[in-house]
Chains A and B, each alone.
Chain A
């Protein structure tokens, strides 16, 4: 395996292990044990390449830098903890969206982000 391939594999493994959207800094923290000499610039480059290949997609959040997650996860939503700033996947969906939309509007999709405190931070508070 070339150095580049090893780095890329470590980045992919970070997403597969953590199973939640990650920032480049979180990827570095998770993957630095796997590959000697992995730095933040390499992680940024690796993420960019994986986005271009279609393996990763950006996760947009209110007032926050993008996180990334593997593409093709299916419809889901996100929760962001204001204390530790980690982002978690939420399963399931909400109801009643169609009733919010005026007649003559056509509803085609939605984005929902919940904000608050995760279990670890809520317990510590």
Chain B
């Protein structure tokens, strides 16, 4: 029997996989679907499975380390919590989502009188550099 103070194999593997799931977000630095997390995570842990990725993403969301990203009509994506304010661009071709930094103008002017603004969600669409048609 293994002494309780020593992490068993069964304990160690999920922790390592969880670390990999989190590290994928830190390295790729854009909102990712669980399928993308799986794809990148398998480069480090080839035996990583989709169910495991789902579980760790769900746990990380529950702990507030990841947050879901709103995308109309799309598969849900996640990003690290606490990032500086930014917007998103989704490619209509490859469906990848990219972070955009910088301010937009005129948001306050859209508000009807006496309405109070607390948060905004902006998604830009188009073709990313890899998918822009060459014409």
Contact = CB atoms under 8 A, between A and B. Distances in A.
Interface of A: 60, 62-63, 77, 79, 82, 88, 90-97, 99-102, 104-119, 122-123
12 contacts: A62-B70, A94-B106, A101-B89, A104-B132, A105-B89, A105-B128, A107-B89, A107-B125, A108-B92, A111-B121, A113-B120, A114-B120
Nearest to B123: A111
Interface in B19-68: 68
B101 interface: yes
Interface residues of B, number: 38
A111 B71 CA distance: 9
Contacts of B122: 94, 110-112
Given A60-B72, A119-B115, A90 B110 contact: yes
B126 A119 contact: no
